[in-house]
Amino acid sequence: MSDVPKDEVLENASHIVALLSRGSDPFISEEVRVQALKAANLVTRALEKPEDGLIKFAFSPTTWMAIRVCAQLDVFDLITKNEAISAAEIAKIGNADETLIRRLLRVLTAAGFVAEKGDGLYGPTHWTVHINSRLAQGMLKFIYDSSMLPIAQSVNWLKERGYQNPVDPRHGMFQAANQTDMPTFKWLTVPENKEIWDNANTFFEGDRGSRPSWLTWFPTKEKFFPEGHHDEAPLLVDVAGGRGHDLMEFIGRYPEEPGPYVLQDQQPVLDSAPSLSPKIEKQRFDLFEDPPVKGKQPICGARIYFMKFIMHDYADEQCMQILRNVKASMVKGYSYLVINDFILPDTGCGLLQSQWDLMMMVLLSSAERTETQWRTLLESAGLSIEGMYSPPGDAQGIIVATL
């Protein structure tokens, strides 16, 4: 039935029961939750026959399609707001065919994303409520709309190029699918693509999912400002920080610190940012042309230059250019570069990190990096790695570098 030995299946099943029986809150920590989930997946793989599992996997894109169409029709919003709503009501509100609505929701009820309350009658589950949230909507719309065509073309694209690893940001799968030679982020910011770019920035606000913030497990204050920050130089510059969600989280964690803080990104992104703390200065910024902000004399450099999920967007050549710009603002013995990103293990890599790596390949001709690859990149840029830190569970790691 499975390549997994029977005793290992039983051991993992027992492990799950033991983890779930620990008091009123079974998930004592993120690490325990991930351990239980990994054990559960091993049991599922052992019980599921490969011929059945592969067929189910082959048909899984239809679930993705059903979710995206229902999001377009605001079906999740309608179901979330009603204890029970009929397919006929949903069809009437969305000006859609009732039979189509039933077919789409048949898949989503089978997957557990929507509750089936009767024949053609639907109600919310916790999945429905989450999918209806602003961050989830941005994620599913951006990922579906930007990746499905490049993924569909990837097989022929790779074959035509002799199965070479893509590294050219102007000539990748995304460019072939959209018939452009613009790098992906450049293409996203042209006016006609405003909706997908807005969805992208909404997704970036929540791309950590439920995984813990680095501020909850990394000794940030002890490492970077144990006595508090009293300089006129910025305490933290969020380089290409989007709408400032990570910066606001930092300020919420350390409200006693006066800053100042700097949020840097393209002007349209900054314009879409919500009301931010008065401690934050917004600065228009081009990742490849502008060095991050410098402080005032006598420091002339920020304490922390923070980059979350930035380096994984680019191949090594572009990363070297970014790092040269960051270095131009750093002060030796004072400034830190803090990178919040996946640090892939050489063996035993998790599924999400592996999938994220391929998504980077498809959308950006870039990649997630292993510890060895991170060391090679940063040291080649003339940076010294102070440390690489792994979080609990399967969240993104922290890399601290100095001049």
pLDDT per residue rounded down to tens, the chain (403 residues): 456 566 665 666 666 666 656 544 544 566 777 777 777 777 777 788 889 888 988 999 999 999 999 999 999 999 999 999 999 999 999 999 999 999 999 999 999 999 999 999 999 999 999 999 999 999 999 999 999 999 999 999 999 999 999 999 999 999 999 999 999 999 999 999 999 999 999 999 888 887 888 999 999 999 999 988 888 889 999 999 999 999 999 999 999 998 899 999 988 889 888 778 899 999 998 888 877 776 554 456 899 999 999 999 999 999 999 999 999 899 999 999 999 999 999 888 888 899 999 999 999 999 999 999 999 999 999 999 999 998 877 668 999 999 9
Structural domain includes residue 328: yes
Domain boundary among 176, 205, 234: 205
One domain, residues 219 and 346: yes
Domain boundary among 131, 149, 183: 131
Domain boundary among 147, 179, 205: 205
pLDDT in the model for residue 300? 66
Into how many domains does the chain fold?
4
CA 387 to CA 401: how far, in whole Å? 7
pTM for the full model?
Answer: 0.86
One domain, residues 381 and 249: yes
Tokens linked to 58: 């082959």
Ramachandran angles phi, psi of 398, nearest 5°: -125, 130
CATH classification of the domain holding 94? 1.10.10.10
Structural domain includes residue 246: yes
Amino acid sitting at position 142: F
One domain, residues 24 and 69: no
CA 246 to CA 238: how far, in whole Å? 8
One domain, residues 108 and 40: no
Element (DSSP H or E) covering residue 298 = none
One domain, residues 229 and 272: yes
Structural domain includes residue 312: yes
CA 70 to CA 67: how far, in whole Å? 5
One domain, residues 236 and 384: yes
CA 161 to CA 166: how far, in whole Å? 9
Tokens linked to 221: 């204050």
Structural domain includes residue 1: no
Structural domain includes residue 97: yes
CB count, 10 Å around CB of 203?
Answer: 20
What are the CB-based long-range contacts (under 8 Å, 24+) for 222-226? 223/336, 223/400, 224/303, 224/304, 224/336, 225/257, 225/303
Tokens linked to 148: 């499905």
Structural domain includes residue 49: yes
One domain, residues 115 and 260: no
Q: 193 lies in which domain range?
A: 134-205
One domain, residues 247 and 342: yes
CA dihedral 60, 77, 189, 202 (to 10 degrees): -90
One domain, residues 259 and 355: yes
Pairing between β-strand 121-123 and β-strand 236-238 as defined by DSSP bridges: unpaired
One domain, residues 362 and 256: yes
One domain, residues 230 and 346: yes
One domain, residues 188 and 292: no
Residue whose entry in the numeric block shows the structure tokens 């059903």: 66
CA 287 to CA 319: how far, in whole Å? 10
The residues that are catalytic are 312
